[in-house]
Amino acid sequence: MNFIVSSNTLLKHLQSISGVLTTNNSLPILDNFLFEITDGELTISASDVETTMKTTLQVEANESGKIAIPAKLLLDILKNLPDQPCTFLIDKNNFGVEISYDNGKSKMVGYNGDDYPKSPNIEGGSSIKLSADIISKAINKTIFATGNDDLRPVMSGVFCQFSPAEILFVATDAHKLVRYKRSDIVSTANGAFILPKKPLNLLKANVRGDEEVLIEFNDSNAVFTFSDIVLTCRLVDGKYPNYEAVIPKENPNVLTVDRLQFLSSIKRVSIFANKSTHQIKLHIAGSELSISAEDLDFSNESKERLTCSFDGDDMEIGFNARFLMEMLTNLESNEVQIQMSVPSRAGLLVPAQTENEHEDILMLVMPVMLNR
């Protein structure tokens, strides 16, 4: 099983899937890339059992076969080679790997490719096609709101729901929530799953532009196929919480403010907030918004004023500055609205203007109780 491939081309393909690799693998074989050659086509796999990525490229080869090659060694040698053809000579008897290039050669010991875990097959599942642009936008808008609590694994992923009316992505960690809807893409059937954070980040790093992504899923796994990559991942098992129940329906107090001015003010004021609560206070009266923070332990305080548009009764409400900053950073409109009912209930953050009528984004943030 010998083949010739460009060092740069191989490196690009390996780097696109190397994000799957982890340092604390339960199976030593997973510290390797699996190389499989069939009819001059090389398929390279990387896996951590839960998530597997495969990429395919054409090489010069006369025979088929498979071998597992140490990932770190291979990446390090390719990163330090100028672009040139590399010849891989594989010894089937002892799994020795010899890489020859212009001015030298390197040798390492590989492993039996048959020992590499197989990817699960998705049979009888559902499927939908989405553009890469929509997927990366949905991930960017929601992934920051996912939780990290091992006791509530369903909250560590993004809930994806497809229906003939719309597609929907939701993320929450019980303190903040993001719901992203698209009505211009619909599915012929109903389906829903919870996608873990790692495959979400791998998708975000690899999907590009307007290419189509085929999503196939069943109860336990999902497969994403795009360009020359196939990503297979295990889904988060469990029932997603009833997020609609926590979104307040009646919010008579509506604050409209310039997004970037508001974000800049919060960034400056929050420097003086308590380092454990990150609490800032919004005081809204008439057309004036006052943003303040204090850290009583160090006698630090800061206060800024912004002009705003406010429809409702004067109010004072506390929020975690970090949550507000994350949300404002992930919105794109010039102005944002914060819709509120009372200081003890969640506030809704939405764009004041929507550029795309098919897009609906809602962000919810729980208030922080103010120290009186």
Percent of the chain with pLDDT over 70: 99
Q: What is the mean pLDDT of residues 273-290?
A: 94
Task: Quote the pLDDT of residue 370.
Answer: 77
356 within some domain: yes
Could you say which of 244, 267, 284 is where a domain stops?
A: 244
For residues 10 and 111, membership in a common domain is answered with: yes
pLDDT of 83 > 80? The answer is: yes
Task: Quote the pLDDT of residue 354.
Answer: 84
Please list, in sequence order, all residues whose beta carbon lies within 8 angstroms of the beta carbon of residue 302, skipping any fewer than 6 positions away.
268, 269, 271, 272, 292, 293, 294
> Which pLDDT tens digit goes with each residue over 105-164?
999 999 999 999 998 888 878 889 999 999 999 999 999 999 998 889 999 999 999 998
For residues 238 and 303, membership in a common domain is answered with: no
Grade residue 189 by pLDDT with cuts at 50, 70 and 90. Answer: confident
For residues 277 and 225, membership in a common domain is answered with: no
308 within some domain: yes
Task: Quote the pLDDT of residue 372.
Answer: 54
Could you say which of 244, 278, 297 is where a domain stops?
A: 244
Task: Quote the pLDDT of residue 349.
Answer: 97
Grade residue 371 by pLDDT with cuts at 50, 70 and 90. Answer: low
Task: Quote the pLDDT of residue 209.
Answer: 80
pTM, entire model: 0.91
> How many domains are contained in the chain?
3
Task: Quote the pLDDT of residue 149.
Answer: 87
Mean pLDDT (the chain, rounded): 94
* Domain encompassing residue 298: 248-368
Grade residue 369 by pLDDT with cuts at 50, 70 and 90. Answer: confident
For residues 79 and 157, membership in a common domain is answered with: no
For residues 134 and 237, membership in a common domain is answered with: yes
For residues 175 and 77, membership in a common domain is answered with: no
88 within some domain: yes
103 within some domain: yes
Evaluate whether 237 touches 258 at the Cβ level (below 8 Å).
no
Hey, what amino acid is at 369?
M
For residues 149 and 108, membership in a common domain is answered with: no
CATH number of the domain that residue 195 is part of: 3.10.150.10
121 within some domain: no
Could you say which of 200, 219, 244 is where a domain stops?
A: 244
Task: Quote the pLDDT of residue 124.
Answer: 76
Task: Quote the pLDDT of residue 313.
Answer: 93
316 within some domain: yes
Task: Quote the pLDDT of residue 123.
Answer: 80
For residues 179 and 285, membership in a common domain is answered with: no
